[in-house]
Amino acid sequence: MTLSDLAYKARIAIKVGGVFFVAIVLVYGIIAFVFMQVGNKTPEAEPQNLNIAFANVPPVSIEQALDLDGAQYTYLLNTIDNDYPVTTSAAQVFFVPIKNVTLSYTKQADAIAQEFGFDIDVVRPERLNEGEVAYEDETKRLDVDIRNFNYTFTVKSSPLLQELVEATPSADVVSLEDSWKSMAQNIFLQSQSGNDVLSGASTNVVYVSYDLSDGKYTPIDDQTQPQAVRIDFFKKDDLLPMVSPYFFTSQNYVILAPLTPDATIVQAQIKTYPKLLEGAGRYPLITAAEAWKQLEAHKAKVVSIADNPELPIKISTIYVAYYDPESYQQYYQPVFVFLGSDNFVAYLPAIKPQYLLK
């Protein structure tokens, strides 16, 4: 071997050794950086200014949870950035008082009955229990909670109702929507509970059909002739969004028929439970990542899903909202809301489990 060959091979060995050395340094640097980042990661800080005013509270009761008959869905996170959103770490919790029945309840209940066309000289209220009365004649019924004056009014299945829903709609029903909204708002304005609902509420208009066999109003599809219009009122909260037990519809609504300028109210309901602002607590919430694990473990309550959904259900939106109950619950508190494909909606109590009653 000549000196030239030896020098050439030495240069090759030095170059290879240099590349190998640089690679080792880079790998070591990456590993060191990862360990440094892991070591410097601090645990999630506890929210500040907590006020566990009510000790442990019962979890939200999700009233319209579907019976899934054993179905257990799978999920795919499909948010805009394919990551869990940053949600508030704490939220206020409010006490909801139960009002006592007062001696003047008959006067207030009679006033509501008159607004719905009852002759109160003929139709007197029947006491259903300690907190409710009912007015009823041949064509309609009104149930009133005499503690807070929530109510449910219905025109009963009868020739009168059949005539109303089967009447020919006006040629341009959309142009009548504002007047129908005004009619719905006006009936709500006649009671304090209705005023509570309307304060800052948003409205949604849905066209429905009526099934005489089961007495239910159902949103129509493109091939179905509308027979009535439903005006939903969705309450607002200054702190967080608010969701109803049904999500797409509200427990506070009015249904009118026929679809003409002379529409009359065939069904109406107010179910609202004002919170007590004084003495509110502030409770820590689980994170969106923790809520996702609970969803995957089938702990969330599904309130909407299409028939035969395609799996996995793609969850596009996750957020925290206050749950607005249809029936009395002692505390007004937040839930996680999951929205996904095939009209999927699910709710999950948002307060950390250690602050909830078992």
Q: Which helix H or strand E contains 290, and what residues bound it?
A: helix 288-296
Specify the higher pLDDT residue, 43 or 323. Answer: 323
- Is pLDDT of 330 > 60? yes
- Output the average pLDDT for the chain: 89
Q: Which residues are within 8 A (CB) of 231 and not within 5 positions of it... i.e. 6 or more apart?
A: 180, 181, 184, 203, 204, 205, 253, 254, 255, 256
Answer whether the bond into residue 85 is a cis peptide, omega within 30°.
no
Tell me the average pLDDT across 212-230: 91
Tell me the average pLDDT across 272-298: 97
- Is pLDDT of 9 > 60? no
The whole-number pLDDT of residue 103 equals 85
The whole-number pLDDT of residue 2 equals 54
The whole-number pLDDT of residue 69 equals 80
Q: Which token pair is 63? A: 């009233």
The whole-number pLDDT of residue 7 equals 44
pLDDT in tens, 43-57: 456 687 999 999 999
Answer whether the bond into residue 241 is a cis peptide, omega within 30°.
no
Are 340 and 78 in contact, with CB atoms under 8 Å apart?
yes
Provide φ and ψ at 270, rounded to 5°: -130, 125
- Is pLDDT of 40 > 80? no
- Is pLDDT of 21 > 90? no
The whole-number pLDDT of residue 223 equals 83
The whole-number pLDDT of residue 30 equals 44
pLDDT in tens, 51-92: 999 999 999 999 999 998 878 899 999 999 999 999 999 999
Question: Distances in Å between the alpha carbon of 310 and those of 305, 314, 343?
Answer: 10, 9, 11
The share of the chain scoring above pLDDT 90, in percent, equals: 80
| Beta-bridge partners for 143 | 134, 152
The whole-number pLDDT of residue 27 equals 39
- Write down the pTM of the prediction: 0.85
The whole-number pLDDT of residue 39 equals 40
Q: Which residues are within 8 A (CB) of 54 and not within 5 positions of it... i.e. 6 or more apart?
A: 93, 95, 281, 331
- Is pLDDT of 308 > 80? yes
Tell me the average pLDDT across 223-249: 96
The whole-number pLDDT of residue 71 equals 82
The whole-number pLDDT of residue 306 equals 95
- Is pLDDT of 14 > 70? no
Question: Distances in Å between the alpha carbon of 163 and those of 36, 58, 158, 313?
Answer: 76, 47, 9, 43
- Is pLDDT of 6 > 70? no
Tell me the average pLDDT across 125-143: 97
The whole-number pLDDT of residue 15 equals 52
Cα distance between residue 163 and residue 118, in whole Å:
20
Number of other residues whose CB lies within 10 A of the CB of residue 327: 11
Are 266 and 228 in contact, with CB atoms under 8 Å apart?
yes
- Is pLDDT of 37 > 50? no
